[in-house]
Chain A
């Protein structure tokens, strides 16, 4: 076999020589990871980073032909570290493009730092509706689907199945409440009935939960078609399936999952990126990896098209009508101008099979069916004027 073409990227300085350089920072804080519910799932501490790295590689392959070089630097703040300090010391004034994988509160704290004014922050970690609504920031773009988009995706599918009566089980964390809010909003939007909502107040002990608690918990007065679970950290949701009092399917944060990415996804060229990711990472691509991949690819696409490394042309291109990001979901992805949410299909996945991809056929929209998911322009609560523009 013969291998010719471009040399391997031996060192950054060599490969960036004579090229337009686009520097990207990846900023994350190590989370105090709760051990996964099941020992089947490995604890992954570098979610996101590897997605950004794969995208840099893809950008640089294109850059070989467009004489652009993309350089990624990762800043990992320890769980007890100070993100703002790292930002001010290492990122401020040095980078125009920052991909973040931070808790929702921290994302806006960073966005509000003075130096962040002259940056675009690509939030590849949060799913909060508030960050895309009342708390929106003009210098932040959101890559992952919001909770509202996820809940709407589920609702569309359940509506198609005519599973209209929902029993909503809610975990104890703040995030679970927010997920439940999104589910309730979706139920209203698609005219579904939540026959009962109930907080999980039993133990989180696997043996006890599995054996008796679920059966007790799910004995409710009203009949329902489907059990919707809001348990973002996976503390009890995984134990609901097959253990309910009545034989009912589980959907939501467990069971049938609404997600941006899933290992069972193989349509629209997804097999290719799954393979490429697995080969370099040695594990499946997680949602945060996908978010970071899209963020870095969005910068690459805009830099290539605008033939620039400067903030304004790149940001303008990203938010323009011409922007069409290939995200392996069968449709071009673009940003909603009213809240900077990346519009995208949401996958509805069972552990080992892709069940459906929302928007579900039949849910129509005058502009793009993708906008049947989440907050559409007329209902947005984001007002740029009131935020840090």
Chain B
């Protein structure tokens, strides 16, 4: 082997290490955060984080991690590099899911037990408003154009449209049973929302606030009541969306133009939440029952690896 080859090889290795990213996974039962190198395909380490960590988000500049530590009744802010706690946010009781606005200075938290959405000013680390919503708010999202905050209430079966400027509810849409997660398309034109009990994905038009399309999932060989859609993400080019189907152990690949289900990818047990790699070439899934994550290569639309991470992996966030 001559020097040139070696240097090429080294370059190759270096480029891999440059591209490397970190996947953060909250472990609900281990009270911990797992750090994964998805390119190497290995668990880097697990760190203690507090009682029952669930929702996790990273700031738009990838510098701060926000983690809902449910049984500690707080949202912790961590330096995404050093993992040092740099602050805690007053989330009210039992925070589970939350959403950051595009600027990254407001956090909207679902308070399941109190039927509230809490608005937090991140710079001041203060709750500036509580908005009464239906029973058991869960899924929450902010539209990329920062016009809407939408809150899905699991027992009321509604999507509440909250004006981001006034923090008032302006419209309520009745949706399918037990709505779970909601996200917006990059152009803010549509919200995609999953219904756990109806096994469906609803597409809501942000103009009319009505359901414009409904995708019903059917997986051959899987009983209808095992198909329980939870996490949903849409790529930034609005080509495809992905829905985690819970105990059906599949991720549905949906064409974002035709709304056809192109494929069902077999992942781990009770697949829950989803996150893209920053370059959107991969998708990471948390699988709550099999205690692993699945890595999906999006070019080939195949599951390339599953990786054990710890007990009850819940939320997932990725840093380049």
Contact = CB atoms under 8 A, between A and B. Distances in A.
Contacts of B169: 5
Interface residues of A, number: 28
B135 A370 contact: no
A142 B157 CA distance: 24
A61 interface: yes
B177 A332 contact: yes
Chain B, interface SS category: loop
Interface in A32-77: 58, 61-62, 65-66
Nearest to B195: A324
A8 to B, nearest CB: 11
Contacts of A62: 134-135, 155-158
A117 B197 CA distance: 32
A310 B126 CA distance: 47
Contacts of B223: 365, 368-369
Contacts of A326: 154-155, 177-178, 197
B136 A368 contact: no
B198 A272 contact: no
A275 interface: yes
A2 B129 contact: yes
Interface string A162-174: 0000000000000
Given A304-B157, A370-B225, A61 B197 contact: no
Contacts, number: 78
A5 B177 contact: no
Interface string B220-232: 0001111010000
A65 B115 CA distance: 14
A58 B154 CA distance: 11
Band of interface residues on B: 20 to 34
A324 B198 contact: yes
A281 B127 CA distance: 29
A21 B178 CA distance: 24
A372 to B, nearest CB: 11
A354 to B, nearest CB: 14
B112 A1 contact: no
Contacts of B255: none
A204 B158 CA distance: 52
Interface string A265-300: 000010010011000000000000000000000000
